């Protein structure tokens, strides 16, 4: 993630309000499923339910990149304590490009693609809850391959990032990644992990409704 995006997400953290997400919305959001992404990392495995109905283009991009083994060998290049962990930058495979981690990424179309922010979608209405997986970007309609996973509920977070899934198994692994020691970049609690947290592989399990 570049410094502009770091700054924007730091601002998002400041804007969080103390409203409470309703259980009905959370339950409804989990029903908009398509495929399961099984993520194996150097710190353990977790599973993501992909919201094909809510964000079909984003899910297509993620699934096809995973099937191309694009994510294999990438590092989680960002940990913001009690906020998010972030991955999806192919530059993070190369330690020589460490200072560029967070600035890379690609889509299956070879260009940035548009947000899927649909006010009527269950996941949009539920918002950025613990375990939610959403696209990182550097502004409107600039999605490629970088994504983040929420470490806690942020119901007041501005809805500027396409939600395309949620962790349904192994959230303890996600939280363990979120607790690693970091090299601060944008404040004392937001930066690059000091230890390599590597995505070994992502396997897609397609459901009957998945394409």
Condensed to tens digits (0 to 9), the pLDDT of residues 9-25 reads: 444 433 332 333 333 33
The CA-to-CA distance between both ends of the chain, in Å, stands at 30
pLDDT of 100: 87
Q: What does the block give as tokens for 205?
A: 């399990």
CA distance 48 to 144: 19
pLDDT of 67: 97
In 3-state terms the chain splits into helix, strand, coil percentages (rounded to 5) of: 25, 25, 45
Please list the residues that pair with 201 across neighbouring strands. 40
Query: What pLDDT band is residue 28 in, cutting at 50, 70 and 90?
Result: very low
pTM: 0.84
CA 23, 39, 119, 208 dihedral sign is negative
Averaged over 96-110, what is the pLDDT?
92
Averaged over 48-73, what is the pLDDT?
98
Phi-psi region of 170 (alpha: psi -120 to 50; beta: other; left: phi over 0): left
């Amino acid at each position: 993630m570049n410094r502009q995006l770091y700054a924007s997400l730091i601002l998002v953290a400041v804007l969080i309000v103390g409203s409470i997400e309703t259980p009905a919305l959370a339950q409804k959001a989990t029903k908009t499923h398509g495929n399961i992404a099984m993520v194996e990392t150097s710190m353990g495995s977790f599973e993501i339910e992909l919201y094909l109905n809510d964000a079909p283009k984003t899910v297509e991009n993620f699934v096809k990149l995973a099937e191309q083994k694009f994510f294999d060998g990438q590092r989680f290049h960002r940990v913001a304590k009690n906020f998010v962990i972030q991955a999806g930058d192919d530059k993070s495979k190369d330690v020589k490009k460490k200072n560029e981690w967070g600035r890379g990424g690609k889509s299956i179309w070879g260009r940035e693609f548009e947000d899927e922010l649909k006010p009527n979608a269950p996941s949009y209405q539920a918002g950025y809850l613990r375990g939610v997986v959403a696209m990182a970007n550097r502004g409107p309609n600039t999605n490629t391959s970088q994504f983040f996973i929420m470490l806690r509920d942020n119901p007041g977070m501005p809805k500027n990032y396409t939600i395309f899934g949620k962790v349904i198994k192994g959230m303890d692994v996600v939280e363990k990644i979120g607790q690693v020691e970091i090299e601060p970049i944008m404040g004392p609690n937001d930066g690059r992990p000091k230890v390599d947290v590597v995505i070994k592989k992502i396997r897609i399990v397609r459901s009957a409704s998945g394409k």
